[in-house]
Structure 1
């Protein structure tokens, strides 16, 4: 007996079609309602002409999907929920209108479906950062010289890092510095006599007579261009650089001078000074080639050029193979050049790179605060981070590590005994209050105001930089402390701030920031421990909006590891990927972040897992041309000519 298959009843088909149509109409109505409500209640202040607070919601509405401006719309949601938008003096939406608007924004922004997004992004041409330039010359020429000490400071881009392509252009004043540095470097690396070639990565041969010079020059130039350009040179490039050598020899200049001139010509080429990739004519995503992948790896993990093994793997077309690629990542992390992850990535993420540069004390009034002390403070944080990576420690150790790196001067600052000499070395803390990041003077100093602590700044730093959960911007009329409160000397700063925070418009921000910041109040404005401030005992107790109560840096550590570790992991994942790509993350990077984070969490947030997954991620290995990609590249290259 066969199966009996009942035909669907016409009424059921009609009901299904009606429900589908009804749902579609409802979604369209919700969308229309959301857009209409934004237009009715927000554009008076935030259209293309007014742009109050530099916010143009009219333009943001026209940029679809809305998550292209994710941070902006999150701020809008927060302001609407808190009653800050629209301003009280303006017409207000009804309860049902406000509810409908928030529901629409939740669907379009918070609950957006990223599964349809397939875009690894685009790494545009950019110049090397000063650190990358210096490190590259070091590894290319075998030098140990500071060639960038008089260079202007690289500015951070939107990503928070100085390797962001949107800030790295070649200005005329910078070209002058490049020329001077390159002249010094080439002169130091090519002696007039070839008696040191066994130590040189450049002079792989040296002619014993005049007949051998042309062949020797060819070998030197060809190998040098491969390494300097981070890819095989074209015939034209080889001929142009060789012509510089030939003209020198025609003037009867010595062989070494000819080589110097040839290498100098290569080093002032945009191919060396810029980090650029080949644009393929396609609208689809495509994998970067082996040499581009080698450069992405080396400038991410080392802030420098690929080494000979990476070049060899690229030449043999083996680097992109998963097993070999994973092996190279492990090898590179074990190399001392991966110190750049602490000296550059961690320093710029956590902000301690500002110590001694933008944050420093008057040496006359503070003779104890020497340049060597500030250098040691930065080294402590950088070496600590790099050590966690090399030892593949879990992320929680960043917050609660019992060991640190000090030299004699920094040990005295921390009142640690038994440390002699200027060399930084690993020691165990004897004071639990100094465990982990929150006990490090570098971050405590850069999150303070001059000569006084700033619980607000420290709290905001924890929420924003460390956890990636920044408080909403203060409402336009939040203002400073009330004058009567400010001048009341009977009140501690904490009491003054608590009175200020009772204002409902200020409470939503301060209830998050203040408990975190005040937990570090026992550290003064340069990270020294204290029990009192201006003759009064310090109150370092805090209570989070969740109800969790804690006290001091020990309690803060417990809160971060116990309740906020997922936030910290998400933030370091986003920051690490952004640093690796040399650009600000966009909405289309969300799937990659989520995939990395999933594997990271499954391995107890071990740091080498994070780095391996970032290196293996879709946006790290692929790229997709934006519209008019060739025009974009040509403009960038012409701007840098």
Structure 2
């Protein structure tokens, strides 16, 4: 990894930083540096060895000349920067050293770190915390408490100089609480935190230390931590918060707050315009990431890793696999973002003519002509057997256990996540199915025996069919015709043949995933109803129940003429009774 400085902390202060790296690929031939045979990729990550790291991005190291990649990220004071050539793998060394080694490599020319990047000075945070109060240099003879030493040990000691500490503190607290708690605050709500300020100031301590104590109290209060709303009672401040946290995953901005204050947000046309504004803002990517993370369980993408006995390929080495796995999740996020931006219909969840791929994903899917780390929209050839979220590698990985696939697990995932069907938990005492990695029996044979029990068959007939259709994909989402098995102490890729046929609960047969897709696409109302319910649950914090389901059906009916577009559904969700809180 690369340290940013020789100081005790690598980042001087928390904030936004611009990282630029100049790198290129080469080929090492027993001491000679030769032109690279291919463009390699590398990742940048930030964090520490003890607390863990977070990936900042994946970049190409060109093979013909050095290339500069830039990313703007938030860094914390303890962060170090980690560089990993993710396409190289390991095991290139030898006991005799570099003179005998022949392999590809990535060379780093330089790393430039610029920051913290501030949009204005003083920064908005200082204005929020201290308003327009002046800063003065502290001197020992001032007979006032000594302020904290700033991050820069050579900077002069400065302190906030209020004209009237209590009056200024109350003014600042009201403004801070209105912003933090997302609504105007009553006198009795401000009073306890003003008392915190006065008690701290009396110790004695500086004004800024005392007011920060009050701010800390606000940030640990229920008013800040929880979104409050009384069902059946319209509250435009609550609506502004609900809309902002729905589409931005953060508190309302000044415009939303102003429209709540003057009552305009209650008008359907204003609410629709604000919904468009929020969806068109870069912060809407927070919605895409968080909603798909919950709805499709993308947050579990790293919960399992491929069994190295069954999947010994270099692509699944620990330091290399993250590149492909992170790309899997990003494909799905970009795919849903594209549906949102273009108002594409919910049928794209089941089938689509294109997706978003980079080189490792294209290799996994058997699609040629895609090179580099950048994700881009790619037309899917029919022979690839892809299309829709249902056959994306992320969905196939989160619904497998890393060793074997299960039509039950995948069937439940499809039924509950994509189709909106409720699957009851198994009866008490029902035994599970252990995977047979030796290939003596297939999962279909095991399930056939398991489903002879009538109490089991009633559920399996609903959840197994989608899982059977997805048996043509392994635990990492690659196409297969035969199962991998362990035999005679080694890996046998020529195991029992895969059977992806089945029939739906109503007896309609299908031969493979394409056949199942054709059946599911005949009922777009069901797909729209499921997505509407998932969006309402995400937006309001509760699943539709009782009379809410009538409203869900009404939303589906209204978007039918618009092709069941995702953006259209979101607009209807925002205008719904559940969202607006009307009785």
Report if the CA contact (8 A) 2:352-2:387 is conserved: yes
**Which stretch of structure 1 is more off in the superposition, 409-418 or 397-406?**
409-418
2:376 counterpart of 1:449:
no
Aligned to 1:328: 274
User: TM-score under structure 2 normalisation?
Assistant: 0.64
Q: Give the structure with the larger strand fraction.
A: 2
In the TM superposition, what whole-angstrom CA distance separates every residue of 1:153-178 from its partner, at most 9, and x where no partner exists?
Answer: xxxxxxxxxxxxxxxxxxxxxxxxxx
Cα distance in 1 for residues equivalent to 2:570 and 2:121? 42
**Which stretch of structure 1 is more off in the superposition, 288-297 or 243-252?**
243-252
2:304 counterpart of 1:359:
yes
In the TM superposition, what whole-angstrom CA distance separates every residue of 1:591-625 from its partner, at most 9, and x where no partner exists?
Answer: 2222222212232211122112121112222266x
- Residue 261 to residue 503, structure 1, CA distance change in 2 (3 Å): closer
Report if the CA contact (8 A) 1:393-1:606 is conserved: yes
Aligned-pair CA distance for 1:318: 0.9
Aligned to 1:593: 552
Aligned to 1:38: none
DSSP 3-state at the match of 1:427 = strand
Report if the CA contact (8 A) 1:467-1:567 is conserved: yes
Aligned to 1:66: none
The 5 Å alignment of 1:176-187 reads none
In the TM superposition, what whole-angstrom CA distance separates every residue of 1:524-569 from its partner, at most 9, and x where no partner exists?
Answer: 012122222142332222333545443333333222212x322222
Report if the CA contact (8 A) 1:451-1:525 is conserved: yes
Report if the CA contact (8 A) 1:207-1:213 is conserved: no
2:356 counterpart of 1:405:
yes
Aligned to 1:565: 524
RCO greater where, 1 or 2, for CA within 8 Å and sep 6 or more? 1
2:328 counterpart of 1:377:
yes
Aligned-pair CA distance for 1:294: 0.8
DSSP 3-state at the match of 2:502 = strand
Report if the CA contact (8 A) 1:469-1:567 is conserved: no
| RMSD across aligned positions (CA) | 4.0
- Residue 253 to residue 197, structure 1, CA distance change in 2 (3 Å): farther
DSSP 3-state at the match of 1:533 = coil
The 5 Å alignment of 1:16-95 reads none
DSSP 3-state at the match of 1:519 = helix
Q: Give the structure with the larger helix fraction.
A: 1
Aligned to 1:540: 500
Aligned to 1:205: 132
Aligned to 1:274: 226
Cα distance in 1 for residues equivalent to 2:369 and 2:239? 46
Aligned to 1:53: none
Aligned to 2:185: 233
Cα distance in 1 for residues equivalent to 2:423 and 2:206? 65
In the TM superposition, what whole-angstrom CA distance separates every residue of 1:131-156 from its partner, at most 9, and x where no partner exists?
Answer: xxxxxxxxxxx966999xx99xxxxx
The 5 Å alignment of 1:44-193 reads none
Aligned to 2:410: 458
User: TM-score under structure 1 normalisation?
Assistant: 0.59
Report if the CA contact (8 A) 2:366-2:384 is conserved: no
1:515 to 459, 465, 484: 465
> How many residue pairs were aligned?
434
- Residue 442 to residue 247, structure 1, CA distance change in 2 (3 Å): same
The 5 Å alignment of 1:372-521 reads 372-417=323-368, 419=370, 422-430=373-381, 432-471=384-423, 491-498=441-448, 500-501=450-451, 506-521=456-471
**Which stretch of structure 1 is more off in the superposition, 432-441 or 305-314?**
432-441
Report if the CA contact (8 A) 1:388-1:398 is conserved: no
Aligned-pair CA distance for 1:575: 2.0
DSSP 3-state at the match of 1:275 = coil
Unaligned runs of 5+ in 1: 1-141, 152-180, 185-189, 280-284, 625-641
Aligned to 1:552: 512
Aligned-pair CA distance for 1:579: 2.1
